[in-house]
A and B are shown apart, each in its own frame.
Chain A
């Protein structure tokens, strides 16, 4: 009896889990709401203002995308590791969450063209003697778990064969550990590093060098099979740059300099 019940339950679950036939782009327009996963402890891309409202580059980007679709935007806060479960379980439609477009991840989710690009800096505790990024060799280093720079840094530590790599759960924990001296150095985006050095929340840290990584191109993501939506997002990103909105958002959230280039020389797309 119990086995029969269990089998029936399993069968019901499998039937429910079959992919829906409707296109996500249609679903979003029909429902009138675009739900975006945004990481809100990653200024200036995502954070909260003093009234606890979500703000930042990614939040504005989500609002723009919703406006283009003619629907209202709903920002759903996630952490970096939670982006994918949120997407897969259908609690969000897209993630506007500074997601690095690695080939390994593209086996699982669908990436748009890049909408932003980060350069990374090496930040160290002031008490540690460091002149270049290579001085990280043999030191205790760390970064935010699951990010592009964490994957790069862990690879480096493995190559060097000495030192230690520690993945903390949030960017704030990484800088706390760095400021306490538990970490000798970290790699973080130039934007975040400069903001954290300037804010004074984490005394005793300094920017040492640029990390010699390929720029970290980040893209919008949705389910892998949603070509209609991916196609729409690609055109949307193109239009954001074309209309000058990208420059405007860059000035608003990042700084006065030229915004990061989204073009890779010598190749299409």
Chain B
């Protein structure tokens, strides 16, 4: 039986600290998306290229990023590299871990989007005298980004939620880190985590709604 009396005053007093943590969470998520998208574009090019080495780099990256837990990826960035004497701060470990995961998933999104674009467009662009790079940059990529825009916002939501995994690499300034530290000090577990959940919900909801509005604006035919 759930036997607990809720007392909110302590938790509500700590709201400013938690909102500060939410800012750090957003910062990490945004940075990880910027890095993730850049790497994913690169990996997509690698995949398209005829070069065996490049395409297998892309394939390996996607396989590992998509088929192992994000928790493991972040842990390995911190403790795995740490074993080789490469010491990254908790912030960087978390950022790199999430960016790695983002890049893998986004590459796969881009692949799906590419499949939706008829092959003939490339040929048409090439027959107009564009080089392969130009054809990709001016014709294919804009459409690819448009098609994968909403999946990208999904990944952004994931990135926000994944920041809570930073706890395994001693991250204590993001929303989850701040919350769990307040919890350790006061033992008001349910109040603090309920508030954190609401903040997470609001952030992700705002992101998905504004992305939808943005998409409606940007991608009107």
- List A residues at the B interface (Cβ < 8 Å): 16-17, 19-20, 80-81, 84-85, 88-90, 102, 104-105, 107-109, 142, 145-147, 150-151, 154, 164-169, 173, 176-177, 180-182, 223
Q: Check A168 against B186 for contact (C-beta < 8 Å).
A: no
Q: Check A84 against B3 for contact (C-beta < 8 Å).
A: no
Q: Check A81 against B83 for contact (C-beta < 8 Å).
A: no
| A105 proximity list for chain B (CB < 8 A) | 185-187
A/B interface sample: 19 pairs, CB < 8 A: A19-B3, A81-B184, A84-B187, A88-B2, A90-B2, A104-B185, A104-B186, A105-B186, A145-B172, A145-B180, A146-B181, A147-B184, A154-B181, A168-B170, A177-B79, A177-B82, A181-B82, A182-B82, A223-B3
Q: Check A181 against B87 for contact (C-beta < 8 Å).
A: yes
Taking a contact as CB atoms closer than 8 A, the residue among A20, A166, A180 that contacts B170 in the complex is A166
Can you name 9 extra interface pairs (CB under 8 A) apart from A20-B1, A89-B4, A108-B188? A16-B2, A17-B2, A81-B184, A88-B3, A88-B190, A105-B186, A142-B170, A146-B180, A146-B181
Whether A85 touches B189, Cβ cut-off 8 Å, given contacts A167-B170, A169-B168, is yes
| A90 proximity list for chain B (CB < 8 A) | 1-3
Q: In the complex, A102→B82 CA distance in Å?
A: 34
| A17 proximity list for chain B (CB < 8 A) | 2, 4
| B183 proximity list for chain A (CB < 8 A) | 81, 84, 146
Per the 8 Å Cβ criterion, residues 86-130 of B in contact with A are 87, 89-90
Output the nearest chain A residue to B186 by Cβ-Cβ distance: A104
| B4 proximity list for chain A (CB < 8 A) | 17, 88-89
Q: From residue A116, how far is it (CB to closest CB) to chain B in Å?
A: 19
- List B residues at the A interface (Cβ < 8 Å): 1-5, 10, 78-79, 82-83, 85, 87, 89-90, 167-170, 172, 177, 180-181, 183-190
Taking a contact as CB atoms closer than 8 A, the residue among A104, A167, A180 that contacts B79 in the complex is A180
Q: In the complex, A156→B177 CA distance in Å?
A: 19
| B190 proximity list for chain A (CB < 8 A) | 85, 88
Whether A173 touches B87, Cβ cut-off 8 Å, given contacts A81-B180, A90-B2, is no
Q: Check A107 against B1 for contact (C-beta < 8 Å).
A: no
Q: From residue A23, how far is it (CB to closest CB) to chain B in Å?
A: 12
| B90 proximity list for chain A (CB < 8 A) | 166
Q: From residue A144, how far is it (CB to closest CB) to chain B in Å?
A: 10
Q: In the complex, A201→B61 CA distance in Å?
A: 32
| A-B complex: 8 closest residue pairs judged by Cβ atoms | A146-B184, A166-B170, A108-B187, A180-B82, A88-B4, A168-B170, A105-B187, A84-B187
| B189 proximity list for chain A (CB < 8 A) | 84-85, 88
| B2 proximity list for chain A (CB < 8 A) | 16-17, 88-90
Q: Check A180 against B172 for contact (C-beta < 8 Å).
A: no
Q: In the complex, A167→B90 CA distance in Å?
A: 10
Q: In the complex, A88→B2 CA distance in Å?
A: 7
Q: Check B187 against A181 for contact (C-beta < 8 Å).
A: no
| B79 proximity list for chain A (CB < 8 A) | 173, 176-177, 180
Q: Check B187 against A177 for contact (C-beta < 8 Å).
A: no
Q: Check B1 against A151 for contact (C-beta < 8 Å).
A: no
| A151 proximity list for chain B (CB < 8 A) | 184-185
Q: From residue A12, how far is it (CB to closest CB) to chain B in Å?
A: 12
Q: In the complex, A169→B180 CA distance in Å?
A: 10
